[in-house]
A = this chain, B = another copy of it.
Amino acid sequence: MVVEIVSVGTELLMGQIVNTDAAYLARRLPEAGATLYHQVTVGDNPERLKEALLTALSRSDVVITSGGLGPTKDDLTKDAAADALGLPMELNPEAERRLRGYFETRHRPMAPNNLRQAFFARGAVLFPNPNGTAPGCVIERDGKAVIHLPGPPREFVPMVESSVLPYLAARLGGVIRSRYLRMFGIGESDAETLLSDLMDAPNPTLAPYCSLGEVQFRLSARARTVDEAESLLNPLEEAVRARAGEFIYARTDIPDDTMARIAARRLIKSGKTIALAESLTGGLLAASLVAQSGVSSVLEEAVVSYANSSKMRRLGVSGESLRKYGAVSEQVAREMAEGIRGTAGVDIGISTTGIAGPDGATPVKPVGLVYAALSAAGHTEVKRLELKGHRDDIRQLACLHATKLLLNELGGSYGG
């Protein structure tokens, strides 16, 4: 099943918006058994849009568009596709009803042009949009299918999950189930080498996705029933764990989860309180945990102690340690973690200190030298790291290592 993505919109074409929709969809498509050869982007121009759709239909089984479903005269995607497919546009009563309901529940008047959003090519089957006014749809014709999705990622992504992937899997006669194993401490190519033969199988599939410092492996199975799919996934997960278990820190059902959010959720569940002493990471560690709603119940505070005076005054780091070992040292990292834990009165204290560059390096303390420490009842652990990359990369990697210390401390479950 060959699928093509046609992204529509002058703002996309002109680079006013980065096309995260297409990247997201492209990463999810293989789960549904789809193969992708082309992505194209065109502006809000009916001729070029129709031409792009005809080209896509000539070389693909399913064409998925994003964008151009709104109420304005620039929103032309549905009309252009109906034109390309030779179908008339019709008012869809179900879509009209939902649209009027959307405005009613929000006590807002509906402008007449909004009704455009209830017109679809004849025979279109609607995809509900709980996050906006424009439903998606699929139109089948001569064995091919055109799928329309709204452009805003907060509408697009949920519709891919709830409607598009199930539709594509059903087209091949079945359901899909996916789970994700997240790894830390192993590089992309090492992980792929370790698991390469498992990645060759057509079903269930194993596919990596790398972000800075982390590798996520997606395990997907297609089968006739959910139970069958799960029973395909279980031995695959076992095989991955047998080879790379030491690097796996979480298994989740959510694609593209983050280590910080996973750690924050486990922390909330544990009921333990935490406080942070950040030097090098400059607030990033706090910000990454705070992204998880509910963390305020366990995160007491963070002190971004950039200056030595702040490390002494706020955290009780000794002036002698700073003079003798320097701010970037195992000793100071330890005193920062213990200091924030003690002064904040929490269960766990975490600290970072290091040299992000480009300035600040010395012959014995190169750019990328980082210490991360965790202090809890009865013990303090300090990790010495030599990180590579640009300034921002070093900070992000330091956050991951500090968060990994937290995950180790919380221990136990592999759940997300």
Residues of A within 8 A of B (CB): 13-20, 22-28, 30, 36-43, 45, 48, 52, 154, 209-210, 276, 278, 281-287, 289-291, 293-294, 296, 299-307, 309-310, 313-314, 343-345, 358-360, 390-392, 395
Bound: A14/B358 CA distance, A: 34
**9 nearest A-B residue pairs (beta carbon):** A283-B286, A15-B26, A283-B283, A282-B290, A15-B27, A301-B310, A302-B304, A15-B23, A39-B41
Interface pair A16/B209, CB less than 8 Å apart: yes
Task: Kindly list chain B residues whose C-beta atoms are within 8 Å of the C-beta of A281.
Answer: 287
Task: Kindly list chain B residues whose C-beta atoms are within 8 Å of the C-beta of A289.
Answer: 282
Interface pair B307/A392, CB less than 8 Å apart: no
Number of copies: 2
Task: Kindly list chain B residues whose C-beta atoms are within 8 Å of the C-beta of A42.
Answer: 37-38
User: Of B26, B40, B287, B296, which one neighbours A287 at CB under 8 angstroms?
Assistant: B287
Shortest Cβ distance from A304 into chain B, in angstroms? 4
User: Of B13, B38, B278, which one neighbours A36 at CB under 8 angstroms?
Assistant: B13
Using A37-B48, A301-B307 as known contacts, list a sample of 16 further A-B pairs with CB atoms less than 8 Å apart, ordered by residue number in A: A13-B39, A14-B36, A15-B27, A15-B28, A38-B42, A38-B52, A40-B41, A278-B283, A282-B290, A283-B283, A283-B302, A284-B290, A293-B358, A299-B306, A299-B307, A303-B304
Interface pair B287/A282, CB less than 8 Å apart: yes
- Across the two chains, which residue of chain B brings its CB closest to A24? B15
Interface pair B48/A38, CB less than 8 Å apart: yes
Bound: A284/B283 CA distance, A: 6
- Across the two chains, which residue of chain B brings its CB closest to A36? B13
Shortest Cβ distance from A169 into chain B, in angstroms? 18
Task: Kindly list chain B residues whose C-beta atoms are within 8 Å of the C-beta of A37.
Answer: 13, 42-43, 45, 48
Task: Kindly list chain B residues whose C-beta atoms are within 8 Å of the C-beta of A391.
Answer: 293
- Across the two chains, which residue of chain B brings its CB closest to A37? B48
Bound: A390/B155 CA distance, A: 13
Bound: A269/B18 CA distance, A: 33
Task: Kindly list chain B residues whose C-beta atoms are within 8 Å of the C-beta of A30.
Answer: 14
Bound: A171/B52 CA distance, A: 29
Bound: A141/B18 CA distance, A: 32
Interface pair A18/B16, CB less than 8 Å apart: no
Bound: A154/B300 CA distance, A: 38
Task: Kindly list chain B residues whose C-beta atoms are within 8 Å of the C-beta of A302.
Answer: 282-283, 302-304, 306
Interface pair B309/A300, CB less than 8 Å apart: yes
User: Of B14, B287, B294, B360, which one neighbours A359 at CB under 8 angstroms?
Assistant: B294
Bound: A287/B305 CA distance, A: 12
Interface pair B305/A301, CB less than 8 Å apart: yes
A-B contact pairs, 22 of them (CB 8 A): A13-B39, A15-B22, A16-B209, A16-B210, A18-B19, A18-B20, A37-B45, A38-B40, A39-B41, A276-B304, A278-B283, A281-B287, A282-B302, A283-B302, A290-B306, A300-B309, A300-B310, A301-B306, A301-B314, A302-B303, A309-B345, A310-B344
Interface pair A18/B15, CB less than 8 Å apart: no
Interface pair B282/A284, CB less than 8 Å apart: no
Shortest Cβ distance from A260 into chain B, in angstroms? 11
Interface pair A14/B27, CB less than 8 Å apart: yes
Task: Kindly list chain B residues whose C-beta atoms are within 8 Å of the C-beta of A45.
Answer: 37
- Across the two chains, which residue of chain B brings its CB closest to A302? B304
